[in-house]
Amino acid sequence: MCVLEIGCIISEQCLNFVMRLFTLDIELNKGKTSEKVSRALERSVERFRIDYQENRLGFFELPADRSSCALAQHWAKETPKDITDVLLIGIGGSDLGVRMLCQALQKTGAGKRLHFLSAPDPDSVSEILSRLDWRRTLVNVVSKSGNTLEPISLLLAIWPSMKKTLGKRAKERVVVTTEEQEKSKLFCLAKEEGFRILPFPPSIGGRFSALALSSLYPAALAGIDIRGLLSGAKAMMDDVLTKTTYSLPAQYAAAMYAAIERGGSIHVCMPYAARLDAFAVWYRQLWAESLGKTVRGKRIGPTPIAGTGPVDQHSQLQLYQDGPQDKVITFIEIDRWEKDMRLAFAWKNMPLDGLAGTKLSTIMKAERLGVAEALHDAGCPTLTITIPTLNAFHLGSLCFFYEVSVVLLGYMLGVDPFDQPGVEAAKRATAKRLLTC
């Protein structure tokens, strides 16, 4: 349900595809699409086409790049049999994508157990040190630049303990994923120490790397179907290439642009699936770092919020309903759950009896629909993306959908979606502070 006027740029053909892949459920407004939105979308899609043809969109080529998939699988297969755990050290785009993939797709008991360290928080490091047995653990340090404070300090923090347990063999248990160039401190260190090095693709930025080798390798270690992920992304890539302004990401970018034009400066991604909580956090980084920019003195960018349904119905929703009308909410729902459950007829004469026999999935659906209706009545636009089922294929599609959408929206807003000068400035300022703290 959505009150955005983008109806006339959605075609029948597109909707058929939507039904097959997932549904972008938009209340079709038969009125005129705003001229400004249409023109901005056309220009954005054209720029995307040119950038792709001129090889400036590294991330967009990932779904068709089967060699990364093969390499990730090969490296994962080569992992010694006695390794049961993997510690992934990285931050930002070198961390959030893998967390998101693992939370959504890793099956209990499948693959290696993944653990994550991103902040040099002494408590987390001590906890990891007390929990992991280095004889059974592989450490994967991921940093595109190879110069980020957090992963470097975390490696330094755990190294003495690894060395103490494993002695000379410690180096065999570290894989560094970084750009293969001398300006990466981690690359130099890895060469010197004899750690194995997996190349971080130079043409892909951290937050666009969820489907790149740097994420596929730990995902393969976790037993995730990485081939399925890429196939889903490829289906979305084909949609983008063949449908241009009618593709799903183009339609979504147009909807978000129209929302921004009407004052919708806060974008909430609210999955109704606990396994997608980390997806919303991944989305938040993608949206914030790609769109929050200053262009010719003008500060631009919607503020993303990582939501979680129905939990937020009992916290944030009050604000969305009655607070400032500056939000647009995207629900993500799952059509078919892997396992469903009917509530028992346990207490026949109790007031709760009305729920007996109801499926949990029905409750989730009713909650989502009810909230959409209430928000609609309160004047807050909402969109719903329905994934047929939460598997590797559809998650791959969904990730790629958001990656393309953010680039198209960035072009519409006139920002460079691929740089992050603010992040870099903070890294430099922190490095200076370290000398004085």
Q: Which residues are catalytic?
A: 289, 314, 427
Between residues 1 and 423, which has the closer beta carbon with respect to ligand PA5? Answer: 423
Query: Per CB under 6 A, does 410 bind ligand PA5?
Result: no
Query: Per CB under 6 A, does 210 bind ligand PA5?
Result: no
Dist. CA 417–CA 409, nearest whole Å: 9
In degrees and rounded to multiples of 5, residue 420 shows phi and psi of: -150, 65
Dist. CA 414–CA 10, nearest whole Å: 23
327 contact partners, CB below 8 Å, separation of at least 6? 264, 266, 267, 268, 320, 380
Dist. CA 45–CA 260, nearest whole Å: 18
Residue 421: both structure tokens together: 């000068």
Q: Which of 68, 148, 245, 330 binds ligand PA5 (CB under 6 A)?
A: 148
Q: Which stretch binds ligand PA5 (CB under 6 A): 41-49, 200-208, 215-223, 393-401?
A: 200-208
Q: Which of 37, 41, 93, 204 binds ligand PA5 (CB under 6 A)?
A: 93
Find the shortest distance in angstroms from Cβ 83 to ligand PA5.
24
Query: Per CB under 6 A, does 239 bind ligand PA5?
Result: no
What is the torsional sign of CA 216, 221, 226, 229? negative
Between residues 177 and 308, which has the closer beta carbon with respect to ligand PA5? Answer: 177
In degrees and rounded to multiples of 5, residue 359 shows phi and psi of: -80, 150
Ranked by CB distance to ligand PA5, the top (closest) residue is 206
Find the shortest distance in angstroms from Cβ 389 to ligand PA5.
29
In degrees and rounded to multiples of 5, residue 391 shows phi and psi of: -130, 180
- With tokens 């999935």, the residue in question is 361
Find the shortest distance in angstroms from Cβ 93 to ligand PA5.
3
Q: Which stretch binds ligand PA5 (CB under 6 A): 44-52, 86-94, 162-170, 369-377?
A: 86-94
Between residues 212 and 329, which has the closer beta carbon with respect to ligand PA5? Answer: 212
Dist. CA 182–CA 192, nearest whole Å: 12
Query: Per CB under 6 A, does 92 bind ligand PA5?
Result: yes
DSSP 227-252: HHHHHHHHHHHHHHHHHGGGSHHHHH
Query: Per CB under 6 A, does 140 bind ligand PA5?
Result: no
78 contact partners, CB below 8 Å, separation of at least 6? none
Dist. CA 233–CA 62, nearest whole Å: 8
- Kindly determine how many residues on this chain lie close enough to bind ligand PA5 according to the rule CB under 6 A: 15
Residue pair 253/383 in contact (Cβ under 8 Å)? The answer is no
Between residues 207 and 243, which has the closer beta carbon with respect to ligand PA5? Answer: 207
Q: Which of 97, 205, 249, 271 binds ligand PA5 (CB under 6 A)?
A: 205
Query: Per CB under 6 A, does 143 bind ligand PA5?
Result: yes
Q: Which of 145, 251, 361, 382 binds ligand PA5 (CB under 6 A)?
A: 145
Query: Per CB under 6 A, does 119 bind ligand PA5?
Result: no
Q: Which stretch binds ligand PA5 (CB under 6 A): 110-118, 203-211, 254-262, 377-385?
A: 203-211
**What residues make contact with ligand PA5 under the rule CB under 6 A?**
91-94, 143-145, 148, 151, 205-207, 289, 420, 423
